Structure 1
Amino acid sequence: MDKRLRTAFMITADAIRPRGVFRGIGGSLRDFLDSQTDQNDPRRVAVGIFEYFCLEDECFNGFRAGVELAVGFLDKLLDGPEGEYQRVQSLKDLKAVLQTGNLEEIRKWIDANYR
């Protein structure tokens, strides 16, 4: 992961919760960053965030801080939904997608909502 993505990731994580909250789900922020060394595409990193922090056995684990981290990371780096209605609708769509636990559907959600 290049410096720009790493910095955006850490700033977003720091703004969400104390770092220790991420350890409660079985992995740390550092572990995640170490797993993403070859990724330089923000969309792929975001999919990785969802997979690493939000999914267990292909099911959403309810870890809201992970969702906030992924969406906040995308918001820092890409153009996302404009306007309150579009933002609310995209998050409703994300909620439905997360319930499927399907990474391909998460990728499609990112592609549909971030440029």
Structure 2
Amino acid sequence: MTGERFKPVLYLKENCPFCLKVRIFLMESGFASEIESRDFVPGTKQEEEIRAVLQPHLEKVSFPSAELEPGRYVTESDDIVAFFAAKAGRDPKELTVYRNYVDGVFAMSMKLWKENMELKKAASA
């Protein structure tokens, strides 16, 4: 063993609202320096490489993804935030920027996404 401390690895896709939610939490909580971030642009070789790394560890590769502890991979943004909130000793509900994003822009984009899916489903019926 080298004695090096494990640093969680976070895989973030550019322009992903779930990835941004995690990033905002980490930055506002002061925990961002405690993780290794691997960011990528969709459709690039870098994305292919990241998916190849994650594939053996996840039933379905999606983003954000994180290796929180050696061999422990997760993909749900809320699970990732909860893990880091516990480590940082920070309550996400008390972080102003995070709450504004989750309750504002993020909530509205999820509402619009759901409406769009319903319209697509109705149009194809």
| Bigger radius of gyration among the two | 2
Between Structure 1 and Structure 2, which shows a larger proportion of strand residues? 2
Between Structure 1 and Structure 2, which shows a larger proportion of helix residues? 1
The TM-score, its normalising length taken from structure 1, stands at 0.30
The TM-score, its normalising length taken from structure 2, stands at 0.29
